[in-house]
Structure 1
Amino acid sequence: MTITDLTTGQDPSTDQASSPGERAVGTVVVAGVGGVIGRHVAIEHARLGHRVIGLSRRAPSDLPDGVEHRAVDLADPDRGALADVGDVTHLVFGAYVEAGPPAELVAPNVALLRGALDVAQAGGHLEHVTLYQGGKAYGAHLGGFKTPAKEDDPRLLAPNFYYAQEDVLRERGARDGFAVTMLRPEAVLGYATGNPMNLLMAVAVYGTLCAAVGVPLAFPGSRAAYEALYQSTDAELLARATVWAGRSPNADGQVFNVTNGDQYRWANLWPLLAEDFGVDVGHPLTAPLVDTMSDKEPVWQRLVERHGLRPTPWADLVQWPFADFIWNSGFDNVSSTVKLRQAGFGDCLDSEQRYLDLLARLRADRVIPPRGATA
C-alpha cells in the first residue's frame, strides 16, 4: 500500500532529494534502538541509505539490517564510544528507564538524555536532536484532559520527566548550536523484541490466547473506555515523521503531536478484531489482565512449540499493567495534528485497518500463530 503525503503529493516512504533549506543527514545515532520507536526509526534511516548507529546496553536479538550497534550505558557513558564513527549529525532519543512514581522518573531519564548528548556531541558536528514525549505531557496518565490536546497547552503542576528533558535539550541546543524537535505520539503500534509496553502486542497476544482456548474476545476493560475516542501512532509513520523533523527547518524548536490522524472507538474496532482472530465478540468485562494472564505462560509456550513461533520470553511479550491502564481509561484521548500538517508533514493512516495489517504481519513473521491455531 502506498501512502501519499497529503501536503506534497509524494510518497513519503521513498527518499526525496533535499529541498532548499533542508539539512543533510550524515550519521544518525538512535539511542534506545531496541525499543519499538528506536527500532523503526533505525530501519527507516537505514532504508534511506543513511549510516545508523544504534545505542543500547545490550544488542537487540534482531538488530535491523544496515544498523550498527554500540553497547553503551547512557546513565554512565563512555564519551569516546563513537570515536571511530566520524561526524554524527543527528541524534534520535528513544531511551527510557522505568524508575517508580513520577517524581522518581525525572532524574534517571534526564541522566539518560544527557549521556546520549555527550556521546553524540563528542565529534562536534551534531545538527539536530529528536526527543519523544507523549500523552503524559497533557496529563493522560492522570485522567481526563482537555481535548483535542494542542502543543501549546500549558504544562501541568505534577512532576513530569518530559518537561525536564525538554528544558535540558533546549538549553543544550541553544548553547551548542543544534536544532531540537519534540514529537508526541500516542499508543505506538509496532513490533520490537523485548519491548512489552506496546498495545499492538497486547491485542495480538490476548486475541491469540482467546482463540487458542476457544473463548469469545471480551473487551477486558471498562465500558466507558470501550465507548471513548482513542488514537494511535503507527511506528512506521512516526519513523517517517522523525526523518522529516531531522531535515526540515519548519520543525526546528517545535513540538508536534504525531498520530495516525484519526480516532476510533474500541466498540467499533473490537468486532473487527474478533473476526480477525476467528472468535465471537464478548461483552466488555472489567477483568484485569494482570490477573487473567497470570497463569497463561504454559499455554503460550505450547503455541510457540507447536507453531514454530519466535521464542520470545513471556515477560518480554506484553506489559499487562500497561494494557489494563489503556483499556480502563474511560475518557476521550484526542490530540490535534493540525500543527504538524501545516508545518509540512501530512502522512496519515486508517488506524482500524492498520491493526489488521500489523496482525497479518505478526503472523507472517511468526510472532503470533496463524488463524485457527490451538494450544
Structure 2
Amino acid sequence: MTERKALVVGARGVIGGNLITHLEREGGWKIVGLSRRGGPDGGHVRHRSIDLLDRAGTAEKLRDLMDVTHIFYAAYQDRPTWAELVAPNLAMLTNVVDAIEPVAPRLEHISLMQGYKVYGAHLGPFATPAKEDDPPHMPPEFNVDQQQFLERRQVGASWSWSALRPSVVAGVGLGNPMNLAMVIAVYASMSKELGVPLRFPGKAGAYTSLIEMTDADLLARATTWAATNPESRNQAYNITNGDLFRWSAMWPKLAAFFELDTAPPLQMSLTEVMADKAQLWDEMIARHGLVPTPYSDVSSWAFGDFVFGWDYDVIADTSKSRRAGFHQFVDTEAMFLRIFQDLRDRRLIP
C-alpha cells in the first residue's frame, strides 16, 4: 500500500496532538504538523511553525509538500465575538487549501473539525439530539462557512471532504483554549491545596442537564476512519463517547479521584475567582515537584465558564456514524479518570 502523508493543521492542540499520536500508532503515515509554536521532530513526524493568516507565507512554507494525501484541519483562532471568529478561521483554512491543492496531485481528502456550534449550541437551548441534517441557524458561524467553502471547492475535484462534530473534547494537552479535562483537574488540585471542597461552579440548570463528551483519542480514530472510508466522502458526522451524563452524578466521582469532599454547587465565574491563583500555582509546582508550566498555559477558565453555563441539554445523535460503520465508544467516567491519572503521571498536576 502506498504510504499516506498527513498534514495536521493545529498540531499542538488537544485534538491535533492526539490525532498525530493516533496516526503514528496506526502506522502507514508520514506526518507534518503545523502550528504557531512548532514542535520537536521525531519518528515519522515533522513539525513546522507557521502563521496561517499570512497567505503568502503559508504558500511559501507549504510549497514543497507535493506528496500530501490528507489534510486534517483542526486549527482555531479565538476572537472576542462570534462574528469576529469568521474571517480569521475561514482565512486560515482557505490559505491552507490554496497552498496545498495546486502542488499536491495525490491529495485524497480534507478533514474538517467542527462542533455543536453548527447546531447553535453556543446560542442557547437547541433541538436535541442534534442531527447532521438539522436546519441551519442565523449566522455568523465560522464552522458553517468553512464547510460551505469545502463544498464549493470540492466540485469537480478528485479529493473529498468530511466534517467531524464532537461534543466537548477531553484529552491531555497544554496551552489549548478548549480543554475541559484540564480545567477540572487544575480546579480540583487547587481546591485540595486550599482545603476547600470541590463545588460545581456552573449554573444550577447545568448541574442537572444532560451532556456528553468526546474523548480525544476516540475522535482521532473517528477522524481517520472518515478520511479513509470511501462511503464517508463529503459527509458530516457527530462523534461522541456514546453515553450521556449529568454533572450532578459525575461531579462526586471526579472529586473522589482527588480525595475531595463535595459541597452544594455555587455558581461563580472561574475566570474571576481563578485570576489571582498564579502564585498559588507556582507554589504547587515547587511543593509537589511538578513540571514547570506557566499558569496561563494550564487551563482556560473562560472555557470552563462557557461549558458549565449550559443550563440545557447538550447532546447529539450519533446513529449516522454507526450506520456508516464506526462503532467505537468510550465510558466517560473512565475517560476522565484516565486523563487525570495521565496528568498526574506526567507531573502536570499533583
Shorter-chain TM-score range: over 0.9
Give the superposition deviation at 1:85. Answer: 4.2
- Match for 1:146 among 106, 121, 127? 127
Matched residue, 2:94 = 114
Matched residue, 2:61 = 81
Matched residue, 1:287 = 268
1:141-184 alpha-carbon deviations (Å, 9 max, x no partner): 11111000000001101311111100111111224321000000
User: Following the alignment from structure 2 to structure 1, what is the Cα–Cα distance between the partners of residues 157 and 292?
Assistant: 45
Structure 2 unaligned segments of length 5 or more: list them.
none
- Kindly indicate whether residue 73 of structure 2 is the aligned counterpart of residue 93 of structure 1: yes
Which stretch shifts more, 358-367 or 81-90? 81-90
Q: What pairs up with 1:1-20 in 2 under 5 angstroms?
A: none
Which stretch shifts more, 352-361 or 62-71? 62-71
- Kindly indicate whether residue 296 of structure 2 is the aligned counterpart of residue 315 of structure 1: yes
Q: Is contact 1:194–1:312 with CA below 8 Å preserved after alignment? A: no
User: Following the alignment from structure 1 to structure 2, what is the Cα–Cα distance between the partners of residues 196 and 105?
Assistant: 14
Matched residue, 2:24 = 46
Matched residue, 2:235 = 254
User: Following the alignment from structure 2 to structure 1, what is the Cα–Cα distance between the partners of residues 260 and 196?
Assistant: 7
Q: Is contact 1:98–1:105 with CA below 8 Å preserved after alignment? A: yes
Q: What pairs up with 1:63-212 in 2 under 5 angstroms?
A: 66-76=44-54, 77-121=57-101, 122-212=103-193
Give the superposition deviation at 1:86. Answer: 4.0
One-letter amino acid matched to 2:84? E
**What SS does the corresponding residue of 2:6 show, helix, strand or coil?**
strand
Q: Is contact 1:31–1:56 with CA below 8 Å preserved after alignment? A: yes
1:173-209 alpha-carbon deviations (Å, 9 max, x no partner): 2243210000000110012221132100011000101
Matched residue, 2:11 = 33
Structure 1 unaligned segments of length 5 or more: list them.
1-17, 19-23, 370-375
Equivalenced residues, count:
346
Matched residue, 2:212 = 231
Give the superposition deviation at 1:366. Answer: 0.9
**What SS does the corresponding residue of 1:180 show, helix, strand or coil?**
strand
TM-score, structure 2 as length reference: 0.95
Q: Is contact 1:138–1:149 with CA below 8 Å preserved after alignment? A: yes
TM-score, structure 1 as length reference: 0.89
- Would the alpha carbon gap of residues 97 and 205 (structure 1) be closer, same or farther in structure 2, given more than 3 Å must change? same
Structure 1 vs Structure 2 CA RMSD: 1.6
User: Following the alignment from structure 1 to structure 2, what is the Cα–Cα distance between the partners of residues 367 and 66?
Assistant: 26
One-letter amino acid matched to 1:33? A
- Would the alpha carbon gap of residues 65 and 217 (structure 1) be closer, same or farther in structure 2, given more than 3 Å must change? farther
